[in-house]
């Protein structure tokens, strides 16, 4: 089946890693469906990709921390009527703080956004991949999934949980020829770091994460990169 007949679903596609992923797959002629909480950002992304690659992407406004809006996005994806070949669970939020001192509700917010968005979306879209015996799911975990760090608080808890989810579905889907990859990335220059007084070259580029994911998908179906750890060359920030 040609790329153009299958769909890539990328959550949180208007900024940072998500935007780099949309750009990378569109450049290869893949139809892309993505979502964001902001209509203006989606319009800007759609116009930019169309101008750059002469590709129309499918965009939908949704806050995936809300289960009902995940369902709405799923319906939108199904209406495109192309089999989902690649699902990239990229939506995430980072609020710094210590577990014992962070604002009440911090854990709930980050679990809703960083874990439940991927959980509900995967449960909705993976059954058709399983049925088709084809597909690849990428979960954007973090080096914070491997080791907690000061002021990481509930972010680290949510990313440990996402990593656990990713490993669980890897086991469930392996015999159905659906690959699952956990992407454990360190600091990437994205809007999350706006206002921080650290030089750009100290961070990884979003394009490097996108390239890693694209290359991981391109391996033969006999192989899977179960997990990949990426860090800035000089180490974590």
**Cβ contact 215:173 at 8 Å:** no
Q: Annotated catalytic, 149?
A: no
DSSP string, 166-187: HHHHHHHHGGGT-EEEEEEE--
At 195 the three-state DSSP class reads coil
Angle at 62 between CA 70 and CA 230, to 5 degrees: 80
CA distance 203 to 81: 38
DSSP string, 39-108: HHHHHHHHHHHHHHHS-PPEEEE--TTSHHHHHHHHHHHHHT-S-EEEEEE---------TTTSPTTHHH
Q: Residue 25: which of 223, 177, 207 has the closest Cα?
A: 207
At 8 the three-state DSSP class reads strand
Catalytic annotation, pick one of 116, 119, 155, 214: 155
Q: Residue 205: which of 217, 218, 215, 193 has the closest Cα?
A: 193
List, by residue number, the catalytic residues.
Answer: 155
């Amino acid at each position: 089946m040609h790329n153009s007949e299958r769909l890539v679903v990328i959550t949180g596609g208007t900024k940072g890693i998500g935007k780099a992923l949309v750009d990378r797959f569109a450049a290869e002629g893949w139809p892309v469906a993505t979502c964001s909480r902001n209509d203006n950002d989606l319009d800007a992304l759609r116009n930019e990709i169309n101008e750059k690659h002469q590709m129309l992407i499918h965009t939908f406004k949704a806050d995936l921390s809300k289960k009902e809006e995940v369902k709405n996005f799923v319906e939108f994806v199904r209406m495109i009527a192309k089999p989902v070949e690649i699902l990239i669970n990229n939506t995430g939020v980072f609020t710094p703080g210590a577990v014992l001192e962070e604002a009440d509700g911090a854990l709930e917010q980050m679990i809703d956004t960083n874990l439940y968005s991927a959980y509900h979306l995967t449960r909705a879209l993976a059954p058709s991949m399983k049925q088709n015996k084809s597909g690849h799911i990428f979960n954007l975990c973090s080096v914070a999934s491997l080791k907690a760090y000061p002021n990481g608080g509930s972010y680290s808890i949510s990313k440990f949980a996402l990593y656990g989810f990713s490993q669980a579905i890897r086991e469930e889907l392996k015999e159905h020829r659906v690959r699952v990859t956990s992407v454990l990335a360190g600091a990437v220059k994205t809007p999350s770091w706006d206002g921080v007084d650290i030089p750009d070259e100290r961070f990884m580029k979003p394009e490097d994460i996108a390239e890693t994911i694209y290359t991981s998908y391109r391996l033969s179906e006999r192989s899977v990169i179960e997990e990949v750890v990426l860090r800035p060359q000089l180490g974590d920030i």
